[in-house]
Amino acid sequence: MQPVVLLISLVLMAALSAAFWLAARAAHGPAPGPGANGKRTGLIWAMTILGVLVSAGSLRQWPHALAAPGDALEVNVSGGQWWWDIDTTEIPAGTPVLFNVTTEDVTHGMGIYDSNLTLLTQVQAIPGYTTRITYTFEEPGSYRILCMEFCGVAHHDMVNEFEVVAGEE
Amino acid sequence: MSTASENFTSGYAAAEPQTGAVKLTMILSGAVFALMMVLGLAMRAAQSQWIGLDPDLFYQILTAHGAGMVGTAALSGAAIMWYFCGRYLVLGAAIFWAFLGLFLLGVALILGAIFIGGYGGAWTFLFPLPALSGGAWEASAAAAFMLGYTVIGVGFLLYYLELGRRIHARYGSLARALGWNLILGREDNDPPPPAIVAAAAVTIFNSIGIILGAAVLAASLVHLLVPGFEVDALLAKNLIYFFGHVFINASIYMAVTAVYEILPEYTGRPWTSNRVFAIAWNAVLIFVMAVYWHHLLQDVAMPPWMLVVGQLVSYFSGIPLIAVTAFSTFLYVRGSKMTWDLASALLVLSVAGWSVGSIPASIDGMISVNKVMHNTMWVPGHFHTYLLLGEVAMAFGFMAWLVRGRTIARMGGLDRAAFATYLAGAAGFVTVFLFSGAASIPRRWAVHYEEWLAHDRIGTLFSLLVVLGTLIIVLRFAARLRRSQG
Ligand SMILES: [Cu+2]
């Protein structure tokens, strides 16, 4: 997902930068004609319609998928300054996993990384709450949990690992 | 063209009584911006493993950099808006001096808390982190830090109280100053100019933001003294992000008055309030307060409808920005025959940078994207875009304009070099952040893995350029300030 997000962002950012650059270059050209205000109205409508479409598309299915299917494996993760504790160290591939995330002290962020150090999903660990996310691991291998929310002087040391093993067919 | 500009300027000269105080504030802001950028450079160099920084010190620098940049952005924005509101309102000079004094007292408390007390809980002071340092700092250091924030907040409230009072006296009501007559199509023979519309909106939303910020600061301070006094961590986070988001946005919405007031001098076309402009600012007033929910998309304990609103508003707040402010800037610039000097170039750049930075921000505000982008380098990537190329560029443009010559002249060699260095450095610097975010590199990590070093090193080189460009701009401002006063 990340490369697509980066590409879309860079293309849009470059297009908007180019529009400004062209306007600056046209400072000594002709002034905008009488149709300029109509163009502004068009732009407002275009942005509104695009926003409605993208919002509807991206929210139609709730992105956090909190209601885990009945066969989900529950894994409890708790964090503290400065450690992660995972109660299941071997997770089967292909099975939906429901993570129950808690913290013993301050706010932390649980980010799950694959062996290529790509972030797969994350959720905050908030004092006094159990936060839940579901994720299905497709590939066996070793995965890491990194802390994503600044939590004090050993924030970067807050790392733990678990294994995903080939699931029973 | 230059004669017209002179007339335009001199027409206001009599109504700018607090120029000295504003110039002093801008030189302080410029110096602190430069210093905070050096701290940023140090953090990037430490992540690159080019210099050694203890993690303790790294996180203290992180805290100082965040608090310092947000505070200075707000300070410079406030000075700019005060200056231009002074063209339409009689503002009490004593209030500005009290505001500046309280600000500096707050800064002293914050710097003491960090570099003497060792406080390194980040500028966001997420409850209960200030009280749970793991032995790194004492409760007194955290308390000094939060007292510093409180003192600065009191200064800002004084500032907004004075502005609101004077706007009310001059325009009859805040609603009229917000352009409601224009929106409702009623006749108004004294419509509020853009700077006043902006001032009315910011006065309302930032006062609310600061008061809620004060509430969570007070609760956190009590918790430091009486650890048994607990606050709900999620409620505290809501209050902190409401305050923090509104406050940093206010800095840009205050500084943009420089664009409204200065660009017309270069183009000869006055920037007037119309119906679309007034609607846009009223939308901003609502959006700026509702959009902070997009900071909490990872807090699944929040009611889902709030997260949905966070996503929607984070996109739709781009419409007043891009379709109104940015589009108007195109129209003002095209065919304007304007002279490009450092001031006009930086001000046009600032609107572009602000708009461009809103793109990765609203993409991160989508819940499905946020799951893999949140709290990676993507986030500093987007806010550095609209701060470095937006608010800071506005402040630098205003500074260059304050000390411009009697006639508007084309950019000289040094100005060109400063502008190009700053632009190249900042654009490269934020692009590296975005690439790092896409590469899943987490933010606020003192120590980086080998896999991430290439990103850090390229980022460090670009930040060196930013520091260099900034130094030329700020030193040039100081030199011209002395010449113009000597
Ligand atoms: Cu942590």
Mean pLDDT check: name the lowest of B224-233, B405-414, B476-485. B405-414
Among B322, B451, B79, B305, residue whose Cα is nearest residue A114: B451
pTM (2 decimals)? Answer: 0.94
Mutate to test the interface with B, among A39, A49, A107 (most CBs of B within 10 A): A107
What is the H or E stretch that residue B278 is in? helix B275-290
Residues in chain A closer than 8 A to B61 (CB atoms): none
Task: Please determine, for residue B84, whether its predicted confidence score (pLDDT) is greater than 90.
Answer: yes
What was the pLDDT predicted at B404?
A: 86
User: B31-58 pLDDT, tens per residue?
Assistant: 999 999 999 999 999 999 999 999 999 9
Between the alpha carbon of residue B132 and those of residues A77, A123, B30, B141, B445, the distances in Å are 21, 21, 34, 12, 19
User: Each residue of B191-211: pLDDT tens digit?
Assistant: 999 999 999 999 999 999 999
Count CB neighbours of B96 within 10 A: 23
Measured in residues, chain A has a length of: 169
For residue B471, pLDDT over 90 is answered with yes
Residue B483 pLDDT more than 50?
A: yes
User: Are A2 and B337 a contacting pair at CB < 8 A?
Assistant: no
Indicate which of B368, B377, B436, B448 best probes the interface with A, i.e. most A CBs within 10 Å of its own CB. Answer: B368
CA atoms of B346 and B249, how far apart (whole Å): 19
Dump pLDDT digits (tens) for B273-308. 999 999 999 999 999 999 999 999 999 999 999 999
- Least Cα distance to B152 among B92, B238, B249, B67 occurs for B67
What are the pLDDT digits (tens) for B140-171? Answer: 999 999 999 999 999 999 999 999 999 999 99
Nearest CA-CA distance, residue B82 and chain A, Å: 28
B12 touches chain A (CB under 8 A): no
Q: What is the mean pLDDT of residues B431-444?
A: 98
Cα(B204)–Cα(B163) distance, rounded to whole angstroms? 10
The answer to whether A5 contacts B438, with C-beta atoms less than 8 Å apart, is yes
Q: What is the mean pLDDT of chain B?
A: 92
**Cis peptide, bond prior to residue B270, ω within 30 of zero:** no
Look at residue B45 and give its three-state secondary structure. Answer: helix
Question: A98: which strand partners?
Answer: A74, A134
Residue-wise pLDDT tens digits, B391-406: 999 999 999 999 987 7
User: Which residue in the block uniquely carries the two structure tokens 């029973």?
Assistant: A168
Nearest chain B residue to A43 by CA distance is: B323
Q: What is d(CA A6, CA B359) in angstroms, rounded to the nearest whole number? A: 11
Determine the distance in angstroms separating the CA of A46 from the nearest CA of chain B, rounded to an integer. 10
Residue B4 reports pLDDT greater than 50: no
Q: What are residue A55's DSSP bridge partners?
A: none
For residue A90, what are the β-bridge partners? A163
Cα-to-centroid distance, B376 and ligand 1 (Å) = 14
Ranges of residues in chain A with a pLDDT under 50 are: none
**ipTM here:** 0.95
β-partners of residue B258 are none
pLDDT the model gives residue B3: 34
* Two tokens, residue B405: 């010559």
